Chain A
Amino acid sequence: MFGNFPNFMYLFRTNGNWRYPGPVRALPGKASRQPPGPEPVSRDDAAADQRRRILEATADLVAEHGYQETTMEEIVRRAKVGYATFYKHFADREAAFLALLDAAIERTVGRVEAAYQREEGPWTDRVGAALGVLFEDVAAHPNPARAVLVEALTAGPEAAAKHEAALKRLAPLLRPGRELNPRQAELPETLEETLGGGVVWVLGQRLIGGEAGKLRGLLPETLEFVLRPYVGEDEAAREAGEVADAISA
């Protein structure tokens, strides 16, 4: 018992309250926690799975109650891991939340950038492809998306900085549109970040309203909003119409 003392500290004191220590469950990696099937699970796989479960639980809980109201106790319970396992991966709740932001941003922004690069048509098509993937990804993973788009701004400066950095990575996809505008010298310097902010707002509002399923229908309108300052309303509406046709097809 005393040899394990540091690991068991959490049982006695969480959130400043003394708690009755519950039964100690098997430690991670022990045979009892492995699935009984013929495939043996490696220690690395088990650790990756624990980490994934912790991030998923964090995303779900933060979407349900907000970051400030989410406790580590709830995270470990939802993720079905012990405190010791949690601490093996993350120093505290904030570290887990920041890791969740990193993972969600990397996945989504990576896919958006790839879709933009892959599309070989004109710039408006490339933006359409990129925005389409963004909407698709947000709809498929609403809670991690909500963490990045909405909750990151409520969780302290480091999380807010990650939100801003993600937004900044999208600006280079829009910037080439300036070349298409005859008045490009007059376009506001803040245009790309501002349009990005508008898109983030629209997505965030739908996620807060529990309407992730309706995002597809919103894609053409949002594309028109983003393209309009660069190519004018007619061209923006034409591109949006093509995307709307593709969705309904």
Chain B
Amino acid sequence: MPAEELGPLPAGRHGYSREQVAHHQRERLIAGLATAVAEKGYAAVTLADVTKVAQVSRRVFYANFESKEECFLAAFEVVVFHLRELVAEALEGIPDWPHRALATARAVLAFLASEPELARLCLVESRGAGPAVTVRFNAAVGEMEPLLRLGRAERDSDRPLPDSTEDSTIGSLVSLAYRKVAGGEATQLEDLLPDCAELVLLPYLGPAEAARLAREAA
């Protein structure tokens, strides 16, 4: 969402409804925050930075958000919403669990790789953006859990997997992606797909099949 591509709204009569203008301003502020955070990091960003990039007034900011943190949450929410749509699209017509899991990983990594600034916002800057963002971040990555858990039906063994398996796997995936993005290699996130695939599939399909599908995904 490059805010700088959006010029200011024309002054005077422009034919937009009050609702359209308000919606537009909110979007600009969210985009403005993402751009400002990409430039200076969340901690250093001021409201003035956000309103300057978004080309709206401070009053408009406060009409939309109570704080910088709330604006950050909104930006995070936009990305999560978009990712959900992308994943749903990627899953269409894929019947089997292993390939659904792979398609999910591929869709998420591809989007974040194509939007490195948003990848940084979500995976790196979110860590220092306050407790509400941490809670939201944990809930968002936790959305992977039910999908992973479906893999339990694929197991040959009758022995139940430990309850925290999915949680540990999610932590590993987050740490893998975090390290790539924090290291300035967000655009190469898709390189992680085989390692992610192996990590995700191993507990459910065993080492041979997990490795085979990981190679297939590469």
Q: Counting CB contacts under 8 A, is B2 at the interface?
A: no
| B interface residue numbers (CB < 8 A to A) | 43, 127-131, 134, 138, 157, 159, 162-165, 167-172, 174-176, 178-179, 182, 192, 194-195, 198-199, 202-203, 206-208, 211
A198-B169, A222-B164 given; A66·B131 CB < 8 A: yes
- Would A196 and B175 count as touching, CB distance under 8 A? yes
Q: Which of A186, A188, A225 is in CB contact (< 8 Å) with B162? A: A225
A-B pairs with beta carbons under 8 Å apart, 7 shown = A205-B167, A221-B162, A221-B163, A221-B165, A222-B168, A233-B203, A237-B159
Q: Is the CB of A200 within 8 A of B175?
A: yes
Write the chain A residue with the least CB distance to B142: A205
Q: Is A165 among interface residues, defined by CB-CB distance under 8 A?
A: no
Contact indicator per residue, chain A 198-209, by CB within 8 Å of chain B (1) or not (0): 111110110010
**Does B165 contact A225, Cβ atoms closer than 8 Å?**
yes
Q: Is the CB of A198 within 8 A of B168?
A: yes
Q: Are A202 and B134 in contact (CB under 8 A)?
A: no
Is there contact, CB below 8 Å, between A197 and B43?
no
Q: Please indicate the chain B residues that have their CB under 8 angstroms from the CB of A194 in the complex.
A: 172, 175-176, 195, 199
Smallest Cβ-Cβ distance to A220: which chain B residue: B162
What residues of chain B lie closer than 8 Å to A189, measured between beta carbons?
195
User: What are the 6 closest A-B residue pairs judged by CB atoms, nearest first?
Assistant: A201-B171, A197-B175, A221-B162, A198-B172, A154-B128, A188-B195
* B211: chain A residues within 8 A (beta carbon): 183, 186
CB distance A201 to B127 under 8 Å?
no
Known: A188-B195, A194-B195, A221-B163. A202 touches B131 (CB 8 A): no
Q: Is A113 an interface residue (CB 8 A)?
A: no
**Chain A neighbourhood of B164, CB < 8 A:** 202, 218, 221-222, 225
The minimal Cβ–Cβ distance linking B12 to chain A, given in whole angstroms, is 41
Is there an interface contact between B194 and A198, defined as CB atoms closer than 8 Å? no
Give the complex CA separation of A183 and B210 in angstroms.
Answer: 12
Is A190 in contact with B176, judged by CB distance below 8 angstroms?
yes
**A248 CA / B208 CA spacing, docked (Å):** 34
A177 contacts chain B at the CB level, 8 A cutoff: no
Contacts of A197 in B (CB 8 A): 171-172, 174-176, 178-179
Tell me if A67 counts as interface (CB < 8 A to partner B).
yes
Q: A188-B194, A194-B172 are in contact. Are A233 and B157 (CB under 8 A)?
A: yes
8 Å CB contact of B168 from A199, A208, A240: A199
Q: Chain B contacts of A193 at CB under 8 A?
A: 175-176, 179
Contact of B202 among A202, A218, A222, A228 (CB under 8 A): A228
